[in-house]
Amino acid sequence: MSNQSSCPPPDATSCEVTPLTREPLSAESAAELAATFKALADPARLRLLSLVASRRGGEACVCDISAGFDLSQPTISHHLKVLREAGLLSSQRRGSWVYYRIEPRALAPLAQLLDVQAVEAGAR
């Protein structure tokens, strides 16, 4: 079996790779984004974030988002705390319930880094 690429010669455009970003990340930006991605790297946290984001207004009561999880309430609270500390969620106590809201400012750098539309347009 050959190690040669099936790509045409270097002057052909069919094997061009479209970059994900327009410019390299600074060390500081990379560290900040890595912390955000680390918070999202857990399936339970990713689900919790998507549950809050999918609610009307991007806000949900903890009583609503806890249903459907095979996790204890303290574990869910821990995951929500990690998402809050990463800046992805904010929270507000109303009476005896805590409401969580998506923080769009925290999602914007992720969206910019993973600008799927730019990648898809470049692949065509």
User: How does the average pLDDT of the chain come out, rounded?
Assistant: 79
Total structural domains within the chain: 1
pLDDT at 76 exceeding the cut of 90: yes
- What pLDDT, in 10s, does the model give residues 96-121? 999 999 988 877 777 777 775 554 55
pTM for this entry: 0.69
What integer pLDDT is reported at residue 29 of this predicted model? 81
Residue 11 lies inside a defined structural domain of this protein? no
Place 18 in a pLDDT band, splitting at 50, 70 and 90: low
> What is the C-alpha to C-alpha distance for residues 21 and 113, in angstroms, rounded to an integer?
6
The CATH number of residue 75's host domain is 1.10.10.10
Residue 17 lies inside a defined structural domain of this protein? no
- b/e sequence 13-25, b meaning 16+ C-beta within 10 Å: eeeeeeeeeeeee
- What pLDDT, in 10s, does the model give residues 27-56? 888 888 888 889 989 999 999 998 998 898
Residue 78 lies inside a defined structural domain of this protein? yes
Asked if residues 86 and 104 have their Cβ atoms less than 8 Å apart, the reply is no
